[in-house]
Structure 1
Amino acid sequence: MNSARPKDKTSPHRTRIQRKNREAILDAALDVFSTDGFRGATVDRIAQAAGLSKPNLLYYFPSKEAIHLALLSGLLDRWLAPLQALDPTGDPVEEILRYVRRKLEISREMPRESRLFANEILQGARHLQPTLETVLKPLVDEQAAVIEGWMREGRIATLNPYHLIFSIWSLTQHYADFDVQIRTVLGEAEGDPFPEAQRYLVTLFTRMLKP
């Protein structure tokens, strides 16, 4: 993933103030991009949200695109880690359920990042397409082959491994990307939707995967 990461104008040996300002820019940009998407975001708005002047922001990142790429690059390293952790030698059902749980945890812990990723894909993956082709696809191919091997051995039900992975993505990321809709439908009395979501998804995939 490092190939997609842009170089900003600070040296590797940043001062405490430089690190603080850079983190403030990225945090503010995450809010703006996850709400407005890349096209709707502006450098002026990001600078204002970060509490910095526009020239100060541009010292750290030369453009809106550079900030966006920095966020996406850091996100994908964490986004792909749970799928990379799928253990071919483990119990198939437990490995897949662990993946489901971790993806749901990421939706709970990183809703802005999930919406940032969703906005990028909805807008045609303008910045991520090379990474999808060179990093995401090979990883999904590799883990789909692992899942297919478990199926051939009769350890889990025979399903299309790619669509199984897609369904895990959609059913877990939904809770971040459509948080407002979920909480509106459930109502305030329901409280945190994630514990019940986990129970539901674990039951669903356990039954689906049963040989």
Structure 2
Amino acid sequence: MHVKFCGFTQLSDIQTATQLGVDAVGLVFYPPSPRAVTLAQAQILSTAIPAFVSVVALVVNMQQDELVELADNVSFDIIQFHGDESAEQCQQLASTVNKRWIKALRVNADTDSAVSVRAQVDEFAKAGASSILLDAYHQHKYGGTGARFDWSLVPQDSSLPIILAGGLTADNVAATLELPIYAVDVSGGIEIDKGKKDPAKMRAFMKAVKRDRWQNATPSEPSNTSS
């Protein structure tokens, strides 16, 4: 299980997260979001992120010229398309700045099924996505609602690694180990206020993931090297 913490605005919060061993850090480049950062802020925040921790740029319906400007000014590893972008648009935009990318799909229990979600994943897989993020649907918001969707809709045989988001906390993240997912993504569940993280909640979240990671690990058999 890999872990991404998203929505950072404070340098000290990023330092705490990386010290706790988070795998990826998300920066939001969507001005209407209370967790949004400017290019100048992002440049400062990215300086605190050590090697081998991925920097994810979350964008929503961003135009090509804006994305090019972002890539020219901020060091990041992966684009997270979180808006209404089609598979073709994601591939075209990402290739413009030569970045790997993931797509966020908002799962609506009223209209979606595990089959329909899988079909959407297949579409983005064919376009070159590295992973798919599944989040809860909201009529007026693109994410960050803290709402949890019906996890039974996570496809069992996805063609891409699944990142689970939406309503995750230290209290419920252990249950995700039963799901066919690659990673978890949390923002509101580790905050004091939007954009301001709680060190205690971050620590509790990582502790829950690591504890259950070891409890559910299958020890490998020792190899027989004798001759």
**Does the alignment reach a TM-score above 0.5?**
no
Q: Which has the higher contact order (CA 8 A, sep 6+)?
A: 1
Which protein has the bigger strand share?
A: 2
TM-score normalised to structure 1 length: 0.28
Higher-Rg structure is 1
